[in-house]
Amino acid sequence: VMDGGDPAQPLNFEGQRNLLPNSIHLATDEYWDAVVATNTTGVFKSMRSELRQMVEQGQGGAIVNIGSIAGLTGLAGNPAYVASKHGVTGLTRNAALDYAPYGIRINSVNMAATDTPMVARAGEFVQASKKAGEGSSMGGLKLQSILSAVDSKNRSSTVWEQGAIILFLLSPDASNLTGCTYATDGGWTAY
């Protein structure tokens, strides 16, 4: 999640300001705690359950964590999201080291804008912030990946494109890959 609000509900910009992204000096504990609890603690607890089962079965396996470009770089005005996704990157790399002896491979996909409800909600937030005259002055410097910028419709990645990479990383074809953070970002982190 990118904010602390309920992602199944419409964005409530005025009514949930304490749960929305902001620069560090203005961010609330509620926003920070909710985002980190879902994005980092959630990945930790999920991996812990998966790894307990995989170790017990003794047959190896593969895990793919869902990261973000925000786990590879910064993203203006959203410190909890950036920190939480850097946490996913760290958990992925750490677990790859700890579980290689068990034949368990662990990687992450680090997406840029993908056509999902979370990204649509983030777009609503950015528009509401602009309308209110708020937001990071640095946030507008980079809004698109390379592929989105050169596409006539400026489209984001699709869920299916992201799913294809995830399926590859889970497959035997990726048997020599572990501890990697794949920027499935249309070239976002290339410039």
Yes or no: say if 114 and 59 are a contact pair by the CB < 8 Å rule.
no
* Catalytically annotated residue among 81, 99, 102, 191: 81
Yes or no: say if 125 and 13 are a contact pair by the CB < 8 Å rule.
yes
Residue 191 annotated in active site: no
Catalytic positions, please?
81
